[in-house]
Structure 1
Amino acid sequence: MIVLGRIVAPHGVRGAVKIHPFGDDPLNWRSMRYWWLGSKPDSTQDSDWKVYRLESLREQGSSLVASFEDVADRNAAELLDGLFIAAPREDLPRPGLDEYYWGDLIGLSVVNAQAQTLGSVSKLLETGAHDVLQVEMGEGKDKVERLIPFVAAFVKEVDLRLREIRVEWEADW
């Protein structure tokens, strides 16, 4: 499953929900007739995801508003608050050149220009201005965390085949 966003609140009284999308161009999600909702974003177990049929989707500011079949009122929408939205890879539109699903970047090694491994991507953060890679290395008290802006000035190449992101970033930053 590729996590696409999260339901952040019910919207109105007719069962709609407000969604915070993770990534660009979420209106393309209209092409997916079914959405999977669940509380465990890292889960690959089908039993952790419940399928909903999309009824409508529209933009509202920087958020989306969606409604689903069988979610008829605000009470039903409140039960969906906080759930993650995901879809199987085969149901998603193919990303364009230099576009990636966040789920494809999680776990990739991050290596700088000096061939030093800085760690692996543990998650991505959306800051408003741009996305940020959260890179972790080590464990316990030896754990080092780096936040690297996911912009061309720092991210030089993403190689999904090698499972590696090459960055212009010093090990001591």
Structure 2
Amino acid sequence: MTDSGRPSEELVTVGRVTTVYGVRGWVKVHSYTEPMDNILQFPKWWLQGPKGWEALEIDAGKRHGKGLIVHVKGIDDRDLAAQFCQRDIAITRDFMPDLERGEYYWHQLQGLQVISHFDGEEHDFGTVARMMETGANDVLVVRGGADGRERLIPYLPGQFIANIDLEAGIITVDWDPAF
């Protein structure tokens, strides 16, 4: 089940197995995809384990209440299903659907350098440490830079996000360095 040859750079985290459900090998899944049940369309899942990434096959999955439940292939016991809980689910990047021009996956933005040209001066804010969903809009969590601060910058292209250049690895923002 372990595939130590799978480079983690090829994988994108798309959810997490949270807890067992019932007594017949089902588990609850928290999906990071939108809509949440898109995670069920990916043909091969990888689970992060103590020895690296392990292949995981599911043979059934469905919405249940406000979340999802899936059945792990070959597992029909609650105690055996528990071994998959509290582990991240990833897929290979080549299974990610293509996006429209100007759209980005969160994993593409993480690690990019963030620069502001506020008041005609260039300010290095550091890099995108992670993305955060707030309900109203997504937020860039930016750390490092010249002053070492953490900044929360609303991900609002055309308003605060001036330009994203994946090739150069730079996001240009319109953001006051005092904030």
Q: Residue type matched to 1:163 in 2?
A: G
Aligned to 2:88: 84
Distance (whole Å) between structure 2 residues aligned to residue 122 and residue 135 of structure 1? 6
Change (3 A) 1:135 1:72: same
Aligned to 1:151: 156
For residues 117-151 of structure 1, what are the alpha-carbon distances to aligned partners after superposition, in whole Å with 9 as ceiling and x for unaligned?
21101112233443322111159xx6311112223
* RMSD of Structure 2 on Structure 1 (CA): 2.5
Q: Residue type matched to 1:83 in 2?
A: R
8 A Cα contact 2:29 2:67, kept in partner:
yes
Distance (whole Å) between structure 1 residues aligned to residue 16 and residue 125 of structure 2? 29
Distance (whole Å) between structure 2 residues aligned to residue 63 and residue 107 of structure 1? 30
- Give the deviation of 1:36 after TM superposition: 0.2
Q: Residue type matched to 1:131 in 2?
A: D
Gaps of 5+ in 2: 1-10
Aligned to 2:46: 36
Aligned residue among 32, 43, 54 for 2:58: 54
8 A Cα contact 1:39 1:82, kept in partner:
no
Structure 1 length as normaliser, TM-score? 0.80
8 A Cα contact 1:22 1:126, kept in partner:
no
Aligned residue among 160, 169, 172 for 2:175: 169
Gaps of 5+ in 1: 41-46
- Give the deviation of 1:81 after TM superposition: 1.5
Distance (whole Å) between structure 1 residues aligned to residue 41 and residue 48 of structure 2? 20
Distance (whole Å) between structure 2 residues aligned to residue 63 and residue 113 of structure 1? 42
For residues 61-116 of structure 1, what are the alpha-carbon distances to aligned partners after superposition, in whole Å with 9 as ceiling and x for unaligned?
55322222123232222221210011111122223444322221110111224332
Instruction: Determine helix, strand or coil for the equivalent of 2:94.
Output: helix
Aligned to 2:116: 112
* Moved >6 Å (runs of 4+): none
- Percentage of matched positions with identical amino acids: 33
Question: Between Structure 1 and Structure 2, how many residues are aligned?
Answer: 165
Aligned residue among 110, 135, 140 for 1:133: 140
- Give the deviation of 1:26 after TM superposition: 3.9
8 A Cα contact 1:5 1:22, kept in partner:
yes
User: Of the two, which has the highest radius of gyration?
Assistant: 2
8 A Cα contact 1:28 1:93, kept in partner:
no
